[in-house]
């Protein structure tokens, strides 16, 4: 006697619903996507109790006639594809024909729809798979679908719903993704009869972001982002790249869209991470809005029921184009952190980053400094910041070292540059429109790092013989590590010779690292080579070594510098490739503009 039965259609739908309908937010997503596919320019979403009680989506799209309305809730019914060839280039958000059937099998649904050329709306009701026949209804053209008491006949599923607040967060996230991808869509979100969002239909991307993410737009939101665009090999890329200063602790603020569809993709995430390498501390994630446009035939969306993952036929191309576009833009942009003097403290607390706390401390200290050493000047002079703002002699001017610039092409006003070192750690330097504060260690680290990298690319580091070879002890395993990395060590300009049992002597050491302790450096190098995970590629390893070398050879905090050393540092900064971040991604420089100071001193 056979055990196998064929499940009835309602059971099939309920099971299928498990794939697409996970929670109220999935319903919101599916219904909104249907509205967009129907050509809607306006969508209103209204929910109650986090969508657990009611989800209602109204659009002004093409609508359905009575026949289609009845059919739309049957399983595997769609107007978007017909034959298997259509699967090769899907341009709509939906195509699987299962969302409405799934939703109708797990909730009480009422749909009202009217096509443009009809004077009459039609209505249909489905209660957990039990469908009434279509009846005349009243309504404007377009479609309204109401979904009540989701999972009410499925206690096991209902139990997994979270609090209304949590479900609401998921709903808002779905709406946010759709809002970002469709700038010309007018969108309203109402929760428990309270309006949460009302986005007009003609916003540019920056306006949309500012409305959806008020926390990202502290100060002028425009300044927090850099725009990058490229169009090559059939791939169009538009990216709004968050500056390092607004980075986050998770990748949640990376929005990737492919032809208007929000996707998650590990190749693309990797490309973004690589593009920011060295510009961010390793545990931080950049805020990125990335819009990719490419032929529908070049990828497959039919890999995941919620279509959040796609399969690129040429993922290497996608990776390299995105990496190239973002990296090039970031390296070509001045990323000096802008001091945020005028923001009120409680707004700043939205960022927990220690960098901002430090910014604030320095800002306060500088405000204090300039209060005490206020220049003797008239309001009128101050109003023209390009005319030597600190020109008049004043108390404290003696501390400010003056020197002739070694780089005339750096935009220094009136051929003079002024700077001072404070706390033997920071350098304050005047610029055309304000001043900058430099972390001397971080900047020097970056300069040495770049120099090391340039030399390594050309061949090997130049070295000099040590007057007295320095010896150190090592274990057998460490000896083996040195042996198996002999080539790399030679490239680094380090010459090692055995010096008795379990002892090595350093005979030559790289010139660029003259300030580092040879033994200390080699010991750390061995540690690094020991720790190195087998999979790490050679380039990454070299990078880590150069980072470490730069850190050891750089001027330290707390080290008094002579005027000519400071001058050299400032001159090197001008020619560095990315002087605004240290190799670990921390800022080297914070910019203060005269207008910020004027605001702070209530001069404007
Ligand atoms: P899919 O979107 O994958 O085609 P759905 O189950 O989501 O499958 O929808 C079934 C069909 O119902 C769609 O193909 C479309 O023709 C129609 N439809 C659904 N929602 C709407 C809407 N808001 N406006 C017009 N037609 C709709
Ligand atoms: Mg659909």
- Give residue-wise pLDDT tens across range 276-292: 988 888 888 999 999 99
**DSSP 8-state symbol, 346:** H
Q: Is residue 365 very low, low, confident or very high in pLDDT (cuts 50, 70, 90)?
A: low
Q: Is residue 549 very low, low, confident or very high in pLDDT (cuts 50, 70, 90)?
A: very high
pTM of the model: 0.69
- Other beta carbons within 10 Å of 478: 18
| Helix 315-331 with 266-275: angle, nearest 10 deg | 20
**DSSP 8-state symbol, 8:** P
pLDDT above 60: residue 219: no
pLDDT above 60: residue 36: yes
* Unique residue bearing structure tokens 């003056």: 402
pLDDT above 60: residue 373: no
pLDDT for the residue 273: 93
**pLDDT, averaged across the chain:** 84
Contact at 8 Å (CB) between 17 and 105? yes
Ligand 1 atom index nearest CA of 78: 14
Report the pLDDT averaged over residues 207-211.
88
Q: How far is CA 379 from CA 190, 210, 594, in A?
A: 51, 35, 13
pLDDT above 50: residue 241: yes
Q: Whose CA is nearest to atom 18 of ligand 1?
A: 34
The closest of 248, 260, 325, 324 to 285, measured between CA atoms, is 248
Q: Is residue 417 very low, low, confident or very high in pLDDT (cuts 50, 70, 90)?
A: low
pLDDT for the residue 218: 42
Contact at 8 Å (CB) between 147 and 56? yes
Q: Is residue 534 very low, low, confident or very high in pLDDT (cuts 50, 70, 90)?
A: low
Percent helix / strand / coil, the chain, rounded to 5 = 40, 25, 35
pLDDT for the residue 106: 94
SS3 at position 500: coil
- Other beta carbons within 10 Å of 245: 22
Count the residues in the chain: 604
E-strand stretches of 128-259 = 130-131, 135-137, 142-148, 186-191, 194-199, 225-232, 235-242, 254-258
Q: Whose CA is nearest to atom 16 of ligand 1?
A: 79
Q: What are phi and psi of 548, to 5 degrees?
A: -65, -45
Report the pLDDT averaged over residues 209-217.
80
Q: Is residue 595 very low, low, confident or very high in pLDDT (cuts 50, 70, 90)?
A: confident
pLDDT for the residue 53: 97
Q: What are phi and psi of 325, to 5 degrees?
A: -60, -45
Q: Give 111 Cα–ligand 2 centroid separation in angstroms.
A: 14
The closest of 142, 139, 144 to 116, measured between CA atoms, is 142
Q: Give 97 Cα–ligand 2 centroid separation in angstroms.
A: 6
Report the pLDDT averaged over residues 154-176.
92
pLDDT above 60: residue 374: no
pLDDT above 90: residue 149: yes
> Cα(105)–Cα(12) distance, rounded to whole angstroms?
9
pLDDT for the residue 362: 59
Q: What is the pLDDT of residues 378-402, one digit of tens each?
A: 333 232 333 333 333 333 333 333 3
pLDDT for the residue 533: 57
Q: How far is CA 56 from the centre of its chain?
A: 32
Pick the more confident residue, 438 or 408: 438
Q: Give 112 Cα–ligand 1 centroid separation in angstroms.
A: 13
Contact at 8 Å (CB) between 592 and 339? yes
Ligand 1 atom index nearest CA of 63: 25
Cβ < 6 A, ligand 1 pocket? 30, 34-35, 37-38, 59, 61-64, 72, 77-80, 94-101, 143
The closest of 591, 575, 555 to 438, measured between CA atoms, is 591
Q: Which two tokens stand for residue 168?
A: 């609401």
Report the pLDDT averaged over residues 572-576.
91
pLDDT for the residue 416: 61
Q: Which residues lie at CB < 5 A from ion ligand 2?
A: 34, 94, 99
Report the pLDDT averaged over residues 567-573.
93
Looking at 126-135, 341-350, 453-462, which range is the least confident one?
A: 341-350
Return all residues near 484 (Cβ < 8 A) that are at least 6 apart: none
The closest of 326, 306, 98, 93 to 228, measured between CA atoms, is 326
User: Of the spans 132-146, 301-315, 371-385, which averages the highest pLDDT?
Assistant: 132-146
> Cα(22)–Cα(171) distance, rounded to whole angstroms?
12
* DSSP letter string, 82-151: -SGGGGGS--SS--SS-HHHHHHHHSEEEEEEE-TT-S-EEEEEEETTEEPPPEEE---SEEEEEEESTT
Q: What is the pLDDT of residues 69-91, one digit of tens each?
A: 999 999 999 999 998 888 889 99
CA atoms within 13 A on the CB side of 135: 7
pLDDT above 70: residue 243: yes
Contact at 8 Å (CB) between 141 and 116? yes
First to last CA, the chain: 91
Secondary element (H or E) of residue 48: strand 42-48
Report the pLDDT averaged over residues 542-547.
89
Q: Which two tokens stand for residue 347?
A: 């707004």
The closest of 369, 350, 486 to 422, measured between CA atoms, is 369
For the beta sheet containing 495-498, the strands, ordered from the edge strand earlier in sequence to the opposite edge, are 463-473, 503-510, 495-498
Return all residues near 25 (Cβ < 8 A) that are at least 6 apart: 51, 167, 170, 171, 173, 174
The percentage of the chain sitting over the pLDDT mark of 70, rounded to a whole number, equals 85
Q: Is residue 305 very low, low, confident or very high in pLDDT (cuts 50, 70, 90)?
A: confident
Ligand nearest the Cα of residue 95 is 1
Q: Is residue 10 very low, low, confident or very high in pLDDT (cuts 50, 70, 90)?
A: confident
The closest of 209, 233, 228, 230 to 220, measured between CA atoms, is 209
Return all residues near 575 (Cβ < 8 A) that are at least 6 apart: 407
pLDDT for the residue 359: 55
> Cα(245)–Cα(587) distance, rounded to whole angstroms?
9
Secondary element (H or E) of residue 327: helix 315-331
> Cα(148)–Cα(130) distance, rounded to whole angstroms?
14
> Cα(490)–Cα(460) distance, rounded to whole angstroms?
7
Q: Give 156 Cα–ligand 2 centroid separation in angstroms.
A: 25
Q: Give 143 Cα–ligand 2 centroid separation in angstroms.
A: 13
Q: Which of 16, 29, 42, 100 to mutate to test ligand 1, by most ligand atoms within 8 A of the CB atom?
A: 100
Secondary element (H or E) of residue 446: helix 440-458
Strand partners, 146: 56, 110
Q: What is the pLDDT of residues 431-478, one digit of tens each?
A: 888 999 999 999 999 999 999 999 998 889 999 999 888 888 888 888
The percentage of the chain sitting over the pLDDT mark of 90, rounded to a whole number, equals 54
pLDDT for the residue 495: 94
pLDDT above 80: residue 105: yes
pLDDT above 70: residue 322: yes
């Amino acid at each position: 006697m056979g055990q196998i039965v064929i499940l009835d259609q309602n059971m099939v739908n309920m099971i299928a619903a498990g794939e697409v309908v996970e929670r109220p937010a999935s319903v919101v997503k599916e219904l909104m996507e249907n509205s967009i596919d129907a050509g809607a320019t306006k969508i209103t979403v209204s929910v109650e109790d986090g969508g657990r009680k009611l989800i209602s989506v109204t659009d002004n799209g093409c609508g359905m006639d009575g026949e289609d309305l009845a059919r739309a809730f049957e399983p595997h019914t769609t107007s978007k594809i017909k034959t298997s060839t259509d699967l090769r280039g899907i341009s709509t958000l939906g195509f699987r024909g299962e969302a409405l059937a799934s939703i109708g099998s797990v909730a009480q649904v009422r749909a009202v729809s009217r096509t443009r050329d009809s004077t009459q709306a039609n209505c249909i009701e489905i209660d957990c798979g039990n469908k009434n026949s279509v009846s005349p209804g009243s309504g404007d053209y377009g479609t309204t679908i109401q979904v009540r008491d989701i999972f009410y006949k499925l206690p096991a599923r209902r139990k997994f719903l979270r609090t209304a607040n949590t479900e609401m967060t998921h709903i808002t996230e779905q709406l946010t993704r759709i809002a970002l991808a469709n700038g010309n869509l007018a969108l309203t979100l109402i929760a428990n009869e309270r309006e949460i969002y009302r986005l007009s239909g003609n916003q540019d991307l920056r306006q949309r972001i500012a409305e959806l993410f008020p926390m990202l737009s502290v100060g002028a939101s425009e300044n927090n982002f850099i725009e990058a665009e490229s169009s090559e090999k059939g791939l169009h890329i538009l990216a709004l790249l968050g500056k390092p200063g607004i980075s986050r602790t998770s990748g949640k603020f990376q929005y990737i869209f492919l032809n208007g569809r929000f996707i998650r993709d590990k190749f693309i995430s990797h490309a973004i991470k690589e593009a920011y390498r060295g510009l961010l501390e390793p545990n931080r994630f950049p805020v990125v809005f990335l819009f990719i446009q490419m032929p529908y035939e070049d990828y497959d969306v039919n890999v995941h029921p919620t279509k959040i993952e796609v399969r690129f036929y040429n993922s290497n191309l996608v990776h390299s184009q995105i990496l190239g576009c973002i990296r090039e833009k970031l390296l070509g942009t001045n990323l000096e952190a802008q001091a945020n003097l005028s923001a009120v403290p409680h707004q700043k607390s939205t960022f927990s980053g220690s960098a901002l706390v430090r910014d604030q401390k320095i800002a306060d200290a500088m405000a204090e400094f300039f209060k005490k050493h206020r220049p003797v000047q008239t309001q009128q002079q101050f109003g023209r910041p390009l005319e030597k703002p600190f020109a008049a002699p004043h108390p404290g001017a003696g501390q400010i070292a003056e020197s002739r610039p070694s780089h005339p092409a750096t935009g220094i006003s009136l051929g003079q540059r002024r700077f001072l070192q404070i706390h033997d750690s920071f350098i304050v330097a005047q610029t055309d429109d304000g001043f900058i504060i430099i972390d001397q260690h971080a900047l020097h680290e970056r300069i040495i790092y770049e120099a090391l990298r340039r030399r390594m690319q050309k061949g090997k580091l130049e070295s000099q013989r040590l007057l007295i070879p320095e010896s150190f002890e090592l274990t057998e395993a460490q000896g083996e590590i040195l042996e198996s990395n002999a080539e790399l060590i030679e490239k680094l300009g380090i010459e090692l010779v055995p010096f008795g049992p379990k002892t090595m002597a350093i005979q030559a050491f790289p010139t660029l690292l003259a300030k580092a302790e040879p033994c200390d450096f080699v010991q750390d190098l061995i540690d690094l080579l020991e720790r190195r995970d087998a999979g790490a590629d050679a380039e990454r390893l070299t990078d880590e070594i150069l980072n470490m070398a730069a850190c050891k050879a750089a001027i330290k905090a707390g080290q008094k510098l002579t005027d000519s050393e400071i001058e050299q540092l400032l001159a090197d900064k001008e020619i560095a490739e990315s002087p605004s971040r240290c190799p670990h991604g921390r800022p080297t420089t914070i910019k203060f503009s005269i207008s910020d100071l004027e605001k702070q001193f209530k001069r404007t």
